[in-house]
Structure 1
Amino acid sequence: MSFDKKNFTDIYQSMVADTRHRIPALTDFEEGSVVRSLFESFAYELALLYEQLDLVYRAGFIDTAEGPHLDRVVAVLGIKRNEPDFATGVVTFERDKGLNEELIIPIGTLVTTEEDETKEPPKKAYLTIEEGRLPAGQTSVEVRIQAEERGKQMVTEAETVIVMPRPVPGIKAIVNKKPIRFLGRDRETDEELRQRAKQALLASGRASVTSIENALLGLPGVREVRVKEDFPEEGQAESGKLGIIEVYVDGLTNQNAPLLRERIDQVRAAGVYVVLKPAIAIHLEAVLQIEVDQRIRAEERLKLEEDVAQAVEGLIEGLDMGEALLFSQLTSEVLKVNGVKDIPNLQITTFREDDSEASLARGSVTLTRTNKQRAITVPANTPLRTNLGQEFLTVAEAQFQEKQDTVQVEVKATRAGRAGELVRTGEAIGWETFKTADVDISVRNDQPIRIARTAYGLPDRRIDVQILERLTPETIRVASEQKPLPVWAQIKLNDPANATAAARQKIEQAVQEFFNALKPGESFTKADLETRLKKFKSIGDFSLRLVAFPFQNEAAQDVYEVRVSFIEKPEAKIIFVYANRLELTGQLRLVLPLTAGDQEKREAVGAARQAIRDYIDSVAPEEDIDLEKVQAAAAQVEKVLRVEFTPEDCSLIDADGNPVDNRVKDRAVGVAAFEKVFLSETKFIIEA
């Protein structure tokens, strides 16, 4: 049975035709006549009734019901419309310096923005969704927060969540260093609800892919679901994983995982094992050059760069699983930022991060031994560790021939993803020595050990991903003008007799001229600068070390080649000419929580040693080593509660191990001309 709706014209014409048949005497249907006015009035009211009846009729069917009527129809199937998710972010809680005890930030702690009548809502409120612990000695802690109300209207810019209506004792201030973003799904549309209801009917028998997808899509925070079944190839039963399916969820977290597993158990087939996985993350690193209005001042440019970076980050975070990033979309989003005129250039790299072999960082290291009397073999899968606690395995065995002191070997990380990457290189990172056949072997990496990356540029026009993958922003670097790439040039003169003021002046001038001649985006190698310096015969033999600090990259790059992006211009920040290598000796003890295990202690010691090395390495020529800063560097290491250190126990030794007297005074180590201090690896003891 169907309902045939009639409109005003149809009703009026039907009434006129019927009347002329029944009452032929009524013939005046001209416009304005009494009969026509009466007929039109009735036809209008009847047309309204037909419209209302049509709405009632359509409201009873899933394909035509809308709004609240559709909600009532799908309720028969036990389905409710998905409401919008919550905006989320991170807030930093800072300790009051007057207290030095462990502080607890409870779950549900209320934080808000300041009231602003020009915005809707005027004040935005958020709650912490995890417990924050601030150990004694630690100054701040980051805690995840969630908006009190659902929806996109609860997003806010960085450094706007600064109010704590009910203060936590011992907390001085709060701030969101990054914007609060809406990364979930919007309120479910009518079309999306119809589709889900139809799938629910198809899945009502359970034990199907559709039933699993539909069961999870109805849960909060779940944006998309894909089920992967690994069927065997024809005639090769052993090639598949029978009885096992993988469910990839965009929106899977540690918090909602138990609920998702429980829901899957309600609909999966008996005997089928379900592996729940997050969407495969394809991390994206971008460098964008933007052209802006020339009238914008320098301080405004920095804010503009931040706004562009946030716009790009928001665009990428909004992409669904399997959705490509179109450069036209990216350009459109950037040009929406007021003041941006164009994107002259961009460079994007992506890398995969999951539990596969492809997500392991790989690179090469140099193994060096002191005893060269006989041939030895370093077996494959030999563990190598840095002072920061990162561990790598040799991919293949390495052969030291008789009288050979160094050998290159490929290594891979033991941890998948970014946790296994080593960006620091050369003397900017320390490695633990190890023994093979009773021979001590040291390790050094001259290039970063990283996950394999894929590069894209403007001509590529888009970045595609597989159906189970999702693009995730890692670092977004934006420049509206040329950025400096600071480089430290350290030149050691092998013959102290050549260490004169005139020689140093020549070297410094040559290095500055070399850097001044470089063009923006021009890379160079250590050999290029060495060739320039070798023109000065009076300085004799020397060794050169370059340490680079790329734009928006916190890690020092002790490199052979300084690779420069198109937005950077290399600059010689520190030119350090020296002839005498001195080493700092002493002893320092880290106080860690009582619950710290051996691995945590080892990592803390390695991190403290690295932090002290970084400080000493940054000291300018003839600048004293501040022992209070040595202690402060160690104190900044995570989980360190206190540092026990007596500056008076420190001393300097020369390259032969002989003491250098009368250098420690007033908690500082004096450094003379053409001297450079390094942290002794064996005689500066750090314990935990």
Structure 2
Amino acid sequence: MTLRTDLIVRPYQEVVDDVLVAMTGGVVNEELLFDVREASYPLAQPARDVRGLTGVVDDQPYYFQAGIDWRFDRAQNAVVFLERGKKPDRTSPVFYVDYFLAEGAESPLTDLNVGSVTRTIAEAMSRELALLYRQVNLAYQSGFIDLAAGTALDFVVAILDVQRKRGDFAQGMVTFFRTVSSRGNITVPQGTRLITADGVIFETTSERTLQRGQVRIDIPVRAAEAFKGPAGKVEASTITSLIVPVEGIERVTNFDPTQFGGPDESDADLRARAKAKLRALSLCTVDALLDAAREAGAANAEVVDPMTPAETPEKWTDPGTVVMVVEVDPLRFDGVRALVNARRAAGVAVRLVARYVFIHPRLRVALRRNLTQAGRDQVRLDMIAAMTGFVAGLGSGMPVPLTRPAPERGILEVIAELPDVRSAELADLLVWRTVVERDDQIGQRLPAPELIVGADGTPVSPDHPELATQVMIDARFWPVIEVEPADIQLLEP
């Protein structure tokens, strides 16, 4: 179904011709039907001259040009379309003719020359009529989300409680952490206020729920009204307090600095967001699930539809099960899963598959001094935290440096920077990649030793991990460090 973008289409030239013809007693908008088999189209009454023809060409209103598209044949009292001129569309064959009568016109107004009283009055009236038609069209368009623009669009989407995002308020993400003793779901309402040590206030822009067993969740925030402009731009780890405590939340922090959103949200982006909000009201539609994943921080998300591809039924997912493949920071995966599960319908299982490359190193680490058992355990935990933080900061699609001569300092150098560590070396290295293609292995881990490369960029044999300098990461995949304290061998001096 084609959306009609205009209620009334009456260009100025068409209106002024109709008014002039009507004022002189002529015939206005006589309707004729175009037929490719016909050469001429007789008029209903004898005509002295034809003023103009209008119709539709290429799905657009068109004013046919005399002598180029058509001519008037007085002998036949008919309009004739010229061979090389434009003609009405076959899908909209109706066209309209304005003409002056050969006799019987009773109007005393006959002077249509430029500057005449008749012509001046007609053109003045036509200008106001054409403007009125434009205003009617604008009012008509302002009621539809695909046609409204500017302030009119703001009013249309307001029914969904959607407001245009402005670029002069800083925005960011704040992570809420659950207390150790809390159980069950914890809902953080929209509008929850947070504050920095310097007194800058932020408000959450959507309601989120920390699910049972979920340790943390990311929630988008926006600077409060009083902190418009640069005042709302703060550095990472500065939004650390709740003005009104939320039961079950131990602490909050922003891992990234807040940023300005640039220009105000465009009409196209606002339409897309409003439509997504409307679709999200119907749980477990594909669009609702995708919108939930993106809202929670997934950079890319796609759904493996249960019934596609149609030609290969063996690749369909089980009834009642949907597979969603996402590209998301590992630290935000739990938040994506929680919001997707909140949007799904009862009885439908959503299997979330993330594009991850899992890196499992085993290390031999030489210590600078002898430590107690508690001290050794703490050093192992510090190493795991340092490796996890280092890899998390690389982002998706970026190689993970293991050691020099990699382009940057690697995991081994990061470990060696810890106070009690003298040096570190790889004893073993295992790498897996999540299967995201549409087959019966989707979501499983498969070994990917070919991603381990040496200084020359060629794959390294698993038997010689000491030669490895980098782990290559495919585009749209995130690296994830998987290491346990037992994987770290400590060598005392």
Task: Pick the TM interval, shorter chain.
Answer: 0.3 to 0.5
**TM-score w.r.t. length of structure 1:** 0.31
Ranked by relative contact order (alpha carbons within 8 Å, sequence separation 6 or more), the top structure is 2
TM-score by length of 2: 0.41
